Structure 1
Amino acid sequence: MRIGELSERTGVSRRLLRYYEEQGLLESTRSLNGYRVYEERAPRVVLRIRALLDMGLTTRTIASVLPCVREGSEEPIDLEMCPDLLATIRREVAALDARIDELERNRDSLSRLVRV
């Protein structure tokens, strides 16, 4: 399928699809006229990328996670525990925890200002 069809099927803009390719998350080949051509599994890959982005992962981290996704699963994200995957996920959870702590401190500081 071409990029327009992939965009329509996934609801993801052509620009973002090209970005995912640049980041090594999505693959295409080129037709004789230079158009991008995607495999039939591409919509599933894009939905996985979107799900991982929604979890707060960066595209760099997603590139290391995607090879660990089980193909053929009905779940968008069904992971095999590839080497280093558990450590990657733990790092991401720790980073999110630190960010939550920071946001709570910021909220508390702002709340104190309006109570004065």
Structure 2
Amino acid sequence: MKIGELSRRTGASIRALRYYEEQGLLSPERLPSGYRDYDERSVATVARIRVLLSAGLNSTAIAEILPNVVDDSVVLTGRCPELRDGLAVERARITERIEALVAARAILDSLIGRPLVIDPA
């Protein structure tokens, strides 16, 4: 598929898709005309990239993670202890951010008169 179709299917801008390629996160084939040709797996890859970016990971970390993704599961081998440690730090940062957002939502709920619902999980 061409870049425009991948953009439509994933919601990522064409500019973002080109950036992902520059960063080594996507590797489309190049047609003789110079056009990029993405395979069906690129749709899932772009979705993973966007989730990881939204979690605050940078493209370098994502480039290390993507080769370890197998059927939507990340399989880290013993060869990547630094990556595992870095991911643990990122997870802790995300958890702190989630807690701050939940607290902010509770304050907003009280200000707008909505009942406060506490998730037991």
Name the TM-score, length of structure 1 as normaliser: 0.72
Structure 1 residue 90 displacement after superposition: 2.2
Distance 1:50 1:28 in 2: 17
Distance 2:9 2:86 in 1: 30
Structure 1 residue 93 displacement after superposition: 3.9
Counterpart of 1:110?
none
Distance 1:60 1:7 in 2: 22
Counterpart of 1:24?
24
Q: Helix, strand or coil: the match of 2:74? A: coil
Counterpart of 2:90?
92
- Give structure 1 stretches of 5+ with no counterpart: 104-116
Distance 1:81 1:88 in 2: 12
- Give structure 2 stretches of 5+ with no counterpart: 101-121
Runs of 4+ more than 4 Å apart: none
What is the percent sequence identity of the aligned residues?
A: 47
Question: Amino acid of the residue matched to residue 80 of structure 1?
Answer: V
Distance 1:81 1:19 in 2: 25
The alignment covers a number of residue pairs equal to 94
Q: Does 1:60 align with 2:55?
A: no
Name the TM-score, length of structure 2 as normaliser: 0.69
